[in-house]
Amino acid sequence: MTASDSEGRLGEEFFTPGSASFTEFLAAHRPELLPTRRPFPDGVRAAPDRFPHGTTVLALTYRDGVMIAGDRRATMGNLIAQRDLEKVHPADHHTAVAFAGSVGLALDMVKLYQVELVHFEKVEGIPMTLGAKANRLAGMIRQNLGQAMQGLAVVPLLAGYDPAAPEGRRGRIFSFDVAGGLYEKRDFHADGSGSPYARGALKKLFRPGMDRRESALAALQALYDAADDDSATGGPDISRRIFPIVSVITEEGFERLPEQETEQLSREMVEQRRSRPDGPNATP
């Protein structure tokens, strides 16, 4: 801390011209606060059963925008580390981010990303475009490459409502690889250990123009299929009343579906599975 900090005044770094990136500001003045610094010496890898990992998240477009959802389980090897983890978070009013991978680093990255978007808007006076938000998150992931190579990877999934996009295509989905590669996905996508099964379910259930209820049921069915084949993914926990998190982003902004609505849809889906364990067939 500088002398001015100890006296309750801002240091000179706060008045030095620079970019509108809060991450770059931290890197220049307080790099030790960045979650992307390496926790281990070179050549050391994290044991896979010593740190909690989040698993399956997904997103799909629907009639009013885009929906993003995630299961609630975190695992450490073959142990369940947490049953009610929240993997879906608003990034700003029209953007949300979900994550798979190392839980502690992912939560820190989400918080930093939220501040990054607010900081940019305060400095520039306008919000970032959705494409710029995706690129900024890709840059943050790229800074985390050293930790990813040590076994502490974070794989976020970004979804947002883009008012500048053509009508009917305003819900947009972006996925990333551990090196910061950015890929825009059409219609739907899933990440995490259960993602192959979730994507397989969405391939048969997704159709353009679905309403909110149809989309939420499709997301819940996909997460159920992921949990059915991937032990690291958690399905609806009826006895504990722990259900997946489902959120939507529309012209009105981000909204997390109320717990009562998610529970009702989850119970309806589980009841359907009693007569059709492998889930519904594709819609003609």
31 close to 120: Cβ distance less than 8 angstroms: no
Residue 249 to residue 235: CA distance in whole angstroms? 23
Which of 55, 56, 233, 250 is catalytic? The answer is 55
Sheet holding 245-250, edge to edge: 188-191, 57-62, 65-70, 245-250, 253-256
**Nearest residue to 252 (alpha-carbon basis) of 42, 93, 52:** 93
Residue 24 to residue 248: CA distance in whole angstroms? 30
**Nearest residue to 23 (alpha-carbon basis) of 106, 113, 107, 103:** 113
CA dist list (Å): 106 to 152, 231, 268? 9, 21, 32
Active site residue 283: no
Residue 189 to residue 175: CA distance in whole angstroms? 8
Q: Is 74 buried (19+), middle (13-18) or exposed (0-12) by CB count in 10 A?
A: buried
Output the six-digit token pair for 168: 């009917």
**103 C-beta neighbours (distance < 10 Å), count:** 21
191 close to 181: Cβ distance less than 8 angstroms: no
Q: Which residues are catalytic?
A: 55
